[in-house]
Amino acid sequence: MIRPATVNDVVEIHAMIRELAEYERALEHARASEEQLREALFGEHPAASALIAEDDETGEVLGYALWFPRFSTWTGNRGMYLEDLYVRPRARGQKYGKALLAALAALCERHGYDRFEWCVLSWNEPAVDFYKSLGAEFLDEWRVCRLSGASLGGLAAQAGR
């Protein structure tokens, strides 16, 4: 079953974020606290939304998808950016990932979003193959750029000069 996350899912979402970070070999970068997630997902001004995949019979949480809206100046429309898609190892191959993505695609259709985008690590061949099987387009000409830490602070210090 796929359902919208509730505030009661924050502990499980937090645990799965850490599991995902460990799988992606970047656990030291997963610093968000449960309280930060609670505020980001269910606070007065939510920054993101999440769906939960759970076992129909046991209610066990088996995965999640966390997303937020974005805007395209080229299309003039909103779209969806998928920040995380994670299915616990014991549930992989049972179509939970596909069900989460299908539910997100349906949300895109319902809200009139014309783009559904996400990133995937180039070394994660199972995920790359899975996304290709769904018809995902890989934008090889585009590269992700990021400023953080000292670089972000250094550029910010130049504001208003």
11-20, 64-73, 119-128, range with the lowest pLDDT: 119-128
Which residues are identified as catalytic? 131
**Amino acid 71: pLDDT:** 96
**Mean pLDDT across the chain, nearest whole number?**
95
**Single-letter residue type at 99:** A
Name the pLDDT band for 143 (thresholds 50, 70, 90).
Answer: confident
d(CA 44, CA 145): 30
The arithmetic mean of pLDDT across residues 43-49, rounded, is: 97
Range list of β-strands (E), 20-60: 49-54
Q: Is the alpha carbon torsion for 106, 42, 10, 118 positive or negative? A: positive
Residues 6+ apart with CB under 8 A from 73: none
The reported pTM is 0.92
Q: Identify the pLDDT of residue 20.
A: 96
123-120-156 Cα angle (round to 5): 110
